[in-house]
Amino acid sequence: MTPLLEASARTRLRTPRRYVPALLVTPAATFLMVFFIVPLSMVAVLTLFDYQPLTRSVSFVGLRNWHRILTSPELRQATVNTLLYAVMTVPVIVGVSLLAALGIHALPRWGALWRTVYFLPTIATMAAMSVVWRWLFYPGAGPVDATIGRLTGATDWLHSTTLALPAIAVIGSWAGIGSSMVMFLAGLTSVPQHLHEAGRLDGAGPWHRFWHITWPALGPSTMFALIIATRDALRVFDQVHVMTDGGPLGSTETLADLQWRYGVSYLDIGSGSIVNTVLLGLVVVTVAAQYLAGGRRLERAGAR
């Protein structure tokens, strides 16, 4: 084969390889474009229009929708309720799931049974479980009022402006522990056992072995569980809508529930799109703040 033909053959062989990275990235890029970029762009555009689905009328209103919603007391109340709900649930979910994972990981037997018990609420339908929890909190005849209510005097939780949101936070914590526990169990399998053996030989107690060996290794799992729990808390909707529908007096109305009220109940698509955008911004800012505040340190600790 002449040098010219050899060069031509090499060119034909190399040419398809140039397109391999593009072909591999195309499915993910298409998925991102169709299911994220395009819907997000449509939401951003809808915030500038007064769109009536029933009459199919569309009129450009510019930033008037933004001014009306951003200055409304409903948005402020929903934002405060959403943040309060996240503060009440995220530390409980991460802390209890970590303790549950440590306990299950240390069990010599029946670990699979306890993993199933803790994970069952995660796979259950939240709307259906909220109906059951609503019965538990039923005023007067519910088990909560019959036990905790008689001991503490705190009754009729779901009709109280101060107790309704904590009652919903109890349900959110109960439902979120299972998924975070699985993340911690996965992290515990990567903890080097020889370091624990070396710690025992050096006389280190259980607390010192956890703090200096287990906890640093769980850094990435902790960060991931924290981000997922925060994201789910900020988007809470099912239990709010089923148990209180945002009441009483808006004391449990979150941003996701407010978005439903504007977009579905009132068919105010522009206002619902603005609440959706505010919720997305709140999730992004909160997760970024968590990562910058301690996430990088946790990930570096896990990579040691």
pLDDT at 299: 67
The SS3 of residue 58 is strand
Tell which residue, 26, 3, 183, has the closest CA to residue 100.
183
- Sign (positive or negative) of CA dihedral 183, 189, 190, 195: positive
Note the pLDDT of residue 163: 92
Strands 49-52 and 57-60: antiparallel
Entry pTM? 0.86
Task: Say what the pLDDT of residue 195 is.
Answer: 81
Please give the pLDDT value at position 162.
92
Helix (H) and strand (E) counts for the chain?
17, 2
How many whole angstroms separate alpha carbon 56 and alpha carbon 63? 21
Q: Measured between alpha carbons, how far is 38 from 299 in angstroms, rounded to an integer?
A: 32
Helix, strand or coil, per DSSP, at residue 110 = coil
Question: How high is the pLDDT of residue 4?
Answer: 54
Please answer whether residues 239 and 126 qualify as being in contact, where contact means their C-beta atoms are separated by less than 8 angstroms. Answer: yes
Residues in the chain: 304
Could you report the per-residue pLDDT of 180-200, keeping only the tens digit for each?
999 999 988 888 888 888 888
Residue 116 Rama label (left phi>0; alpha psi -120 to 50; beta): alpha
Nearest to 239 by CA among 115, 72, 127: 127
Rg (CA), the chain: 26
Residues of the chain with pLDDT under 70: 1-16, 295-296, 299-304
Q: Which two tokens stand for residue 5?
A: 């033909």
- Angle (nearest 5°) at CA 260 between 224 and 45: 85
For position 108, what pLDDT does the model report?
Answer: 84
271: closest CA among 13, 98, 51? 51
| Greatest extent of the chain over all pairs of C-alpha atoms, in Å | 97
**Residue 247 CB-density burial (10 A; 0-12 exposed, 13-18 middle, 19+ buried):** middle
Amino acid letter, residue 78 = A
pLDDT of residue 202: 81
Q: Break the chain down into helix, strand, coil percent, rounded to 5.
A: 75, 5, 20
User: Can you give the pLDDT at residue 303?
Assistant: 57
Question: What gap in Å lies between CA 269 and CA 53, rounded to an integer?
Answer: 8
pLDDT for res 9 = 57
Tokens of 28: 């993910």
pLDDT in tens, 53-95: 888 888 898 889 899 999 999 999 999 999 999 999 999 999 9
Omega of the bond prior to 248 within 30 degrees of 0, cis? yes
